[in-house]
Amino acid sequence: MERLQSIPKAWIYVILVVVLAGPLLKPIGIPIPISEEVSKSFQAIDSLAPGSVVVFGFDYSPGNAAEMEPQALAILEHLAEKQVKVIGISFQVQGPEMATKAFANTSWAEKEYGVDYVNLGYRAGGQAAVAAFATDIPGTFSTDYSGKPSSSFPIMQGIKTAGDIDMIITIAPGQPGPEDYVRQVYGTYKTRIIAGVPAVAITQVAPYVQAGQIEGILGGLPGAAECEILVQKRGQAVAAMDAQSLAHLLIIVLIAFRNIPNFFGAKEARAQSMSDRTHHAGRGGRS
């Protein structure tokens, strides 16, 4: 029984590789239910009229792209289908490159740069930069990522503050993230916000979702997979969900292995102490 409590690290690593690689190479096809949060996000984007202006915050980096990029790609496909205009911005230093990659790998590659979409690049300053963006978009992002004046693009005509934006979508694993947009943008302009966050950050943004300040959230890879299903463009996230399910199961099995001896050990100890007490009481009775 003690062996279950001391499985070597190397074994666990090998088992994890097998559990992850198996379903990636040969998918099982576990059905993916659609959560209420993702359904709300989808409906919010679906309600946008053609020609609406959406600000898309590419606030993630290559380090967390495995979890965040599928969300961005699925939402961008939905936005392309809705024929809205997208202004890409970033408050994360590596975000503009992620934006370039995302636009190139979706239906946006066939659309016209500067007319249908634009990549305005990165601005330093965290929450202060979000506040500056809210009150003066062309002033804060005076050039696009390649250095051309942002006012020269047709998509930027008539855009002054966050009040001129129909929706903000931010894909952000950390700060600045959805909370900063709520504080600096929603508070003043009541602009609709959709957020894509890692699975571990759902709790952090949940109070803002319940308060109605964030209209919908996509949480981690499951959120991206659900979005891919709703948009009917299955991609990386759906493909990875079987692996994630099995990895979760593996963790539960390992935790069970770790605790079964504890459980039985405690039971045995309780039984032992009961029998000791009976034994002592018996001896006491006889003497």
Does residue 221 contact residue 67 with C-beta atoms inside 8 Å?
Answer: yes
* Closer to other proteins by Cβ: residue 27 or 82: 27
Q: In the chain, how long is the greatest CA-to-CA distance?
A: 103
Please select the residue that binds other proteins; options are 22, 132, 174, 175, rule is CB under 8 A. Answer: 132
How many chain residues are in contact with other proteins, going by CB under 8 A?
A: 71
* Closer to other proteins by Cβ: residue 192 or 223: 223
Taking contact as CB under 8 A, which single stretch among the options 40-48, 105-113, 132-140, 151-159 is the one that binds other proteins? Answer: 132-140
Write out the binding residues for other proteins, residues 263-282 only, by CB under 8 A: 263, 266
Write out the binding residues for other proteins, residues 93-122 only, by CB under 8 A: 93-94, 96-97, 100-101, 121
Strand residues in 47-145 grouped as ranges (E): 53-58, 85-90, 117-122
CB of 112 to other proteins, least distance (A): 17
Write out the binding residues for other proteins, residues 192-231 only, by CB under 8 A: 199, 202-204, 206-207, 210, 219, 222
Taking contact as CB under 8 A, which single stretch among the options 82-90, 92-100, 108-116, 279-287 is the one that binds other proteins? Answer: 92-100
Helix, strand, coil share of the chain (percent; to 5): 60, 15, 25
Q: How far apart are CA 43 and CA 48, in angstroms?
A: 9
Other CB atoms within a 10 A radius of the CB of residue 265 amount to 14
Is 259 among the residues that bind other proteins (CB under 8 A)? Answer: yes
Sheet holding 167-171, edge to edge: 117-122, 85-90, 53-58, 167-171, 192-197, 216-219
Write out the binding residues for other proteins, residues 11-50 only, by CB under 8 A: 12-13, 16, 20, 30-33, 35-36
CB of 275 to other proteins, least distance (A): 22
Write out the binding residues for other proteins, residues 156-185 only, by CB under 8 A: none
Write out the binding residues for other proteins, residues 53-72 only, by CB under 8 A: 61-66
Does residue 82 contact residue 115 with C-beta atoms inside 8 Å?
Answer: no
Q: How far apart are CA 157 and CA 163, in angstroms?
A: 14
Q: How far apart are CA 185 and CA 251, in angstroms?
A: 40
* Closer to other proteins by Cβ: residue 51 or 63: 63
Q: How far apart are CA 221 and CA 224, in angstroms?
A: 5
CB of 49 to other proteins, least distance (A): 26
**What are the residues facing 56 on neighbouring strands?**
88, 169
* Closer to other proteins by Cβ: residue 117 or 145: 145
Taking contact as CB under 8 A, which single stretch among the options 38-46, 48-56, 106-114, 236-244 is the one that binds other proteins? Answer: 236-244
